[in-house]
Amino acid sequence: MMWQRCTKRLALFVLAVALFSSSLLSGMPDVEAAEAQPNLQLEVKSAILVEASTGKILYKNNENLPLPPASMTKMMTEYLVLEAIKEGKIDWEEMVPVSEYAFFIARIPDSAGVYLNMGEEHSVKELYKAMAVVSANDATALLAEKVAGSERNFVDMMNQKAKELGMSNSRFVTSTGLPADELGPYSPDTDQDNVMSARDAAILARALIRDFPEALEYSKIPRLKFRENFEKANYNWMLPGLPSEYPGADGLKTGYTDEAKYCFTGTASRDGIRLISVVMGTSSDMKRFAETKKLYDYGFSNYKLVKKHDKEQAIKGHETAEVKKGVELTVPAVTGDQVTVLAKIGEEGKLTPTVTYRSDLTAPIKKGQAIGKVVYAEQGVTEADYLQADDFANLGTDLVAAQDVEEASWIRLLFRSIIQFLANIINDVIG
């Protein structure tokens, strides 16, 4: 009886320890989650940090919350202007007379601008520089009118392009980011205003510099001389020679209104990595750059791009793919491009390749034809870890055929079938 009581007490003690340990461990932070989402203590309403080539999200905070973007709106105007130039609808050197609307905006108190005057005309390039470098609202509105005939038409184009780019938490009402109720007689007939999430701002910034790399040639200009007596610094103070200079910074767009507070969509490139950052709702000019610096410092010090394979290199253990109805039964496979992966510094060796070949691979096969894919990805990564669904769906690098494989003749296929049939009978007998 005494032995049974001791045993019972021991069991109760072990159970109590187990419950206490479980409770203690449940209150501890998850190590892997902490590594994936660092505590940067940003003083922002929302933020996101993305590696541009892969779309991998390195940090996020309220990234899907629609907020007033202020002049970050102009990234969409820049996109549509550059698209119109590419399509030949307007020309860089084309002269644009100042409109009454642009002249009105130039006179709005505290509105960023280059003070356009009636009777003046400026080239598309001059106006674009004014928009990209010193966030000129008057130049922006004039470009919108030039591209679409009116700002209202241009806003329709902005919203359509947002849908095309996959920006699901954005709405545009003005081309400039100015609140609609500040436009006096030119105010749109709506009680809504521009909104954009940090994720959407990153999507837009990435599309802008991907589709129109020349945008960075303008956004990185630290100072603009628009007239003989008008020179102004870029609002992006992270550029060389400005108060918050950061090595590698070359874009992209700041924003401020009373409601939006201080916002910034930035980009910087270093050691082959380009980061895109967004901070929204910070408390001051300097604060938006200080918070962006935290993001950049984290990204550049913790991640690197690693070359795993050269172009036209075979993947060890996956050198060939099976081919149906071919003269040869397999085809050599090589990488269609250089394989570069984003890895956390110190963990480069943990990424192992996953190779898949098309199950319906049938001759004839042409050299260079995509026949499969090699993917390097961290364990447990999901679509939510990437800026857009396509980034996750398109992970990896194509594997291509290293040589042609001709289609086998019917008689070859017949003999092959007979041989296979006989082999199966022999295996059944032996088995």
Catalytic annotation, residues: 71, 74, 135
Where do we find the tokens 């950052």? 277
C-alpha pair distances (Å), 341 with each of 55, 218, 299, 348, 384: 12, 29, 15, 9, 18
Yes or no: say if 279 and 263 are a contact pair by the CB < 8 Å rule.
Answer: yes
Distance CA 39, CA 29 (A): 12
Distance CA 220, CA 216 (A): 6
Distance CA 318, CA 386 (A): 28
How many Cβ atoms are within 10 Å of 319's Cβ, its own excluded? 12
Which residues neighbour 111 within 8 Å (Cβ) at sequence distance 6 or greater?
A: 105, 137, 138, 178, 182
The dihedral region occupied by 143, where left means phi > 0, alpha psi between -120 and 50, and beta the remainder, is alpha
Quote the tokens at residue 305.
Answer: 């791009």
C-alpha pair distances (Å), 2 with each of 5, 8, 14, 16, 295: 5, 10, 18, 21, 64
Q: Are strands 230-233 and 249-257 parallel, antiparallel or unpaired?
A: unpaired
Kind and range of the H or E element at 48? strand 46-51
Q: In what order do the strands lie in the sheet with 370-376?
A: 320-322, 330-335, 397-401, 370-376, 353-357
Kind and range of the H or E element at 356? strand 353-357
Q: At what angle do helices 124-134 and 137-148 cross, to 10 degrees?
A: 140
